[in-house]
Amino acid sequence: MTHRYIAEALKDSDSLLYILLKEGKITGVCTVDVSGNSNYLYGLAIAEAYRGQGYGSYLVKSVVNQLIAQNDEAFQIVVEDSNIGAKRLYENIGFVKQTQVVYLK
pLDDT digits (tens, 9 = 90+) for 70-82: 888 888 998 888 8
Residue 35 lies in a domain: yes
In a domain, 88, yes or no: yes
Report yes or no on 77 lying in a domain. yes
Q: How many domains does the chain divide into? A: 1
**How far is it, in rounded angstroms, from Cα 90 to Cα 60?**
8
98 domain-assigned? no
Q: Is the residue at 101 inside a domain?
A: no
Per-residue pLDDT of the chain (105 residues; tens, 9 = 90+): 467 667 777 888 888 999 999 999 999 999 999 988 889 998 899 999 999 999 999 999 999 999 989 888 888 998 888 889 899 999 999 999 887 776 777
CA-to-CA distance for 56 and 91, rounded, in angstroms? 12
State the helix-helix crossing angle for 55-71 and 84-93, rounded to 10 degrees.
50
Q: Is residue 64 within a helix (H) or strand (E), and if so which, with residue range?
A: helix 55-71
CATH of the domain at 35: 3.40.630.30
Enclosing domain of residue 41: 4-93
CB-CB neighbours of 75 under 10 Å: 18
Query: Is residue 103, in this structure, part of any structural domain at all?
Result: no
Q: pTM for the complete prediction?
A: 0.84
User: Taken in order 59, 63, 64, 66, is the CA torsion positive or negative?
Assistant: positive
67 residue type, one letter: L
Question: Does residue 32 lie in a domain region?
Answer: yes
